[in-house]
Structure 1
Amino acid sequence: MPSYTLIGKIGEGGMGVVYRALQLPLERPVAVKFLPASLMARPEALPRFMREVQICTRLSHPNIIKILDCGEMNGQPFYAMELLEAQTIRQLLKERGRIPVAQAVEIFHQVLEALEYCHREGLIHRDIKPHNIMVDGHNHATLMDFGLVKILDASGLTHSRQILGSPHYMSPEMLRGETVGSQADLFSLGTVVFEMLCGQKAFPGKNIRDIGRSILYGEPPGLSSLAPDCPPGLVKVIEGCMKRALEHRYQTTGEVLRDLNRFEAGGAPRGRTGETGDRPAPESPR
């Protein structure tokens, strides 16, 4: 069984602490994620951590993080994963303000490919956000953090009354605690691409209540006005991901990829199959 020498902390999140480490005896650089002792008392923490390990080890895709090993070190559960010399989209936005159109499109395409693979495997990620997408110096994108992943049932839906994830990037159906499908990931990815291009969140707010009202009853600022260099065809694809009503949002990752491919080839995106336009936003409760 391999052992590890920890070198230094890389980062810390709500469900784990990540260290740079060497895997011995290979002396292979890896990243090691621990479930902190402070979370062990929560009944859902360890099962969620282990589910992430079990699911990620069965996935094999160039744009999804690779899990190499798992175990326990000094009483703390951990897993080792490939070490990425990369930055999160959040870090890129903090440094640059916004991401150029060509680079954003390339990242968009790669994450869609990763999500299409996940959805074919019967999984939805449920936590697509700038912190969970890493981009290296060659603009290779990697989707990570599968701690909230859910397995779809035979209907293509997953059932949960819990509101989990990052509010700014949640789909309306997730915020309402409803049954969700793969379209929830598309909505979240649309908000991330919007933010890459504009340098600001599609649905701002000071707290979860304000953010929720913005997502459920408001409209994001016009993408074309905030990012005038964003071509109309690309705007249509992103807005198609961010439709509030499920029946007007893209139905599958394949539909989005089809339209993004058409845009990249110089053609016009067709929109969602059978699209007739979005319905008006419901009146906000007083």
Structure 2
Amino acid sequence: MQLGKLIGQYQILEKLGRGGMGVVYTARDTKLDRTVALKFLPPHMSTDEEAKQRFIQEAKAASALDHANICTIHDIAETEDGELYIVMAFYEGQTLKYRLEHEEFAIGDALDVARQLGRALERAHEAGIIHRDLKPANIMVTDRGEVKLLDFGLAKLMSGLDLTAEGSTLGTAAYMSPEQARGEEMDARTDIWSFGVVLYEMLAGQKPFRGDYDQALLYAILNEDPPPIDEQRPEMPDALSDTVTKCLQKDRDSRYDGMTTLLSDIDAETVPAASGRADARSKRMVSRPVLLSIVGLFSALVLAGIVYQANRGDDASGHSVSSDVIAVLPFAVRGSPDLAYLGEGMVDLISQKLDGAGNLRALNPRAVISLINREGLDINDPESGSRVARKLGAGRYVTGDLLEVGGRLRLTAYLTDTDQPNQPLGEAAVEGAAENLFDVIDDLVTDLLGG
């Protein structure tokens, strides 16, 4: 589509992206002088009558739902060349997919998104419409914190014509319900499963089911249990963990019977105070008071929102390497297995301390951890550290290890130039009481930076 071209009353401004059911552009409404989004059916599908009908159904389904958390549909029209397009409201913000890739969600923020998303689905289900393609890429979070549910391209009127026949597995595999993966008939509980997957991902920072290819992923959805979410997020309230688990029951009869009941449980959730209950994982696995104190301190840091989070798009992949940019890699943890979660926790804690020290800018911890997990890198291999740092544009990186013995912590850190992974620029080692974890980290960073 040529930029500047006039389609009806809409002047094309910019291409925003492409999805399975359309290409999206921003445009200026020349009559009402406003910015809108135009979604066109892909040209190669223009002769596919089923695709056209599904595209029209998307517009009708979404336009019938007048709700603050559902994308507003202004119009549906056709170009002189026979291309169908939907005119939608344009929102300033980012998709939830983008935000999940660039930041870690506080529990309160995840619950806020979940409540708004849940209300959107509740309204759709009341109208007899299921989304069937619920995923972070179809959820917009505006700059004002408003959630907008997009793309009813796979929506189906539960009482109307089924345009995606039984046996089809349209949708994104990671968010599919078991019945959807099997190609079976679906109802609103399919959206409840996908809602649970999205909520799990916001809270745990990873998807509940993973696989190297679609068939392996679908096998996991059908046959495996997700890792307990309280192991991914130690400060997780028990009731919230139970809510996520209930959404992800493979037998749909064991899930919530509707969004209203689910929202009732979500609305009852409150973020626990930093001094509140010890998390379920600590109760189950940790008996020594000193380890409980570390869990409590780390949980307090997370809940208070102090853990470093970058909102500047820190994934510098493709940018030139800068000596002022530094990457912190997960620490190797030795001693108590109950402290294993602190390996990645050190990425957050030390990045927070390094960011803004002199001219240093620390990379977003989520970008670092995501790259390591995605490529299956060994954090104990110097070459792997160099590879991570270089890919993200960091000229230096920090590695280290944490040892706990008899209630005391010993932290060792190495500062290394990305171009010389086998010759550390500096080393620091500090020791202190486990309950003084943050003071120990302060001393470590001070020593590592040379005073």
Q: Give the match's secondary structure for 2:231.
A: helix
Give the counterpart of 1:257 among 258, 263, 266. 263
SS at match of 2:23: strand
* Partner-residue secondary structure (3-state), 2:253: coil
Partner in structure 1 of residue 174 of structure 2: 168
- Match for residue 234 of structure 1? 240
Q: CA deviation at 1:228?
A: 1.6
Q: Which residue of 1 aligns with 2:98?
A: 91
CA contact (8 A) 1:152 1:181 kept: yes
Deviation at 1:163, TM superposition (A): 1.2
- Which of residues 152, 156, 160 is equivalent to 1:150? 156
State the SS of the aligned residue for 2:47. Answer: coil
In structure 2, what is the Cα distance between the partners aligned to 1:27 and 1:122? 35
C-alpha deviation, 1:262, in angstroms: 2.0
Instruction: Specify the code of the residue in structure 2 equivalent to 1:77.
Output: L
TM-superposed CA distance for 1:230, in Å, is 2.3
Larger mean CA deviation between 110-119 and 245-254 belongs to 245-254
Aligned to 2:27, the other structure's residue is in SS state: strand
Aligned to 2:85: 78
Kept in 2: contact 1:187–1:242 (CA 8 A): yes
- Alpha-carbon distance in structure 1 between the residues aligned to 2:47 and 2:225: 40
TM-score by length of 1: 0.87
1:281 — aligned with what? Answer: none
Query: What are the superposed Cα offsets for residues 106-149 of structure 1, whole Å, 9 maximum, x if unpaired?
Result: 11011111111111101111010010000012221010100101
Q: CA deviation digits over 1:65-111, x for unaligned, max 9?
A: 00012212242211111001011111001111x32111110110111
One-letter identity of the residue aligned with 2:105: I
> 1:2 and 1:25, CA in 2 relative to 1: closer, same or farther beyond 3 A?
farther
Aligned counterpart, 1:109: 115
Contact persistence 1:159–1:178 (CA under 8 A): no
**2:30 is the counterpart of 1:24:** yes
Partner of 2:142: 136
User: How far 1:153 moved relative to its partner?
Assistant: 3.1
- Tell me, in whole angstroms, the C-alpha distance in 2 between the residues paired with 1:48 and 1:58: 15
* 2:421 corresponding residue in structure 1: none
What secondary structure sits across from 1:257 in the alignment? helix
d(CA) in 1 for partners of 2:159, 2:41: 28
* One-letter amino acid matched to 1:217: N
Q: Please state whether the residue corresponding to 1:259 is helix, strand or coil.
A: helix
Question: 8 Å contact 1:7–1:19 — kept in the other structure?
Answer: yes
- Whichever residue aligns with residue 113 of structure 2, its letter is I
Moved more, 102-111 or 231-240: 231-240
Residue equivalent to 2:217: 211
User: 8 Å contact 2:108–2:271 — kept in the other structure?
Assistant: no
**DSSP 3-state at the match of 1:44:** helix
How many residue pairs match? The answer is: 262
CA displacement at 1:180 relative to structure 2: 1.3
What's the counterpart of residue 60 of structure 1? 66
> Residue 257 of structure 2 aligns to a residue in which SS?
coil
**Secondary structure of 2:245 counterpart:** helix
Identity %: 36
Partner SS state of residue 252, structure 2:
coil
1:10-40, CA deviations, whole angstroms, 9 ceiling, x for partnerless residues? 1111111111110112221101111121121
CA drift at 1:263 = 2.0
SS in 2 for 1:247: helix
Q: Which has the higher contact order (CA 8 A, sep 6+)?
A: 1
- The residue identity in structure 2 corresponding to 1:115 is L
Shift of 1:42: 3.0
Residue 10 of structure 2 is aligned with which of 4, 7, 15?
Answer: 4
In structure 2, how many angstroms separate the alpha carbons of the residues matched to 1:161 and 1:113?
30
Alpha-carbon distance in 1 for matches of 2:130, 2:22: 20
Residue 184 of structure 2 is aligned to residue 181 of structure 1: no
Tell me if structure 2 keeps the 8 A contact 1:2–1:25.
no
Give the SS at the match of 1:204: coil
In structure 2, the gaps of 5 or more residues are: 1-6, 273-451
Please give the alpha-carbon distance, in whole angstroms, between the structure 2 residues aligned to 1:230 and 1:159: 40
Match of 1:277 in 2: none
**2:200 matched to which residue of 1?**
194
Deviation at 1:208, TM superposition (A): 1.7
RMSD over aligned Cα, in angstroms? 1.8
Of stretches 59-68 and 239-248 in structure 1, the one that deviates more from structure 2 is 239-248
Letter in 2 for 1:198: A
Contact in 2 for aligned 1:159/1:180 (Cα 8 Å): no
Distance 1:227 1:185 in 2: 24
Contact 1:2/1:23 (8 A) holds in 2: no
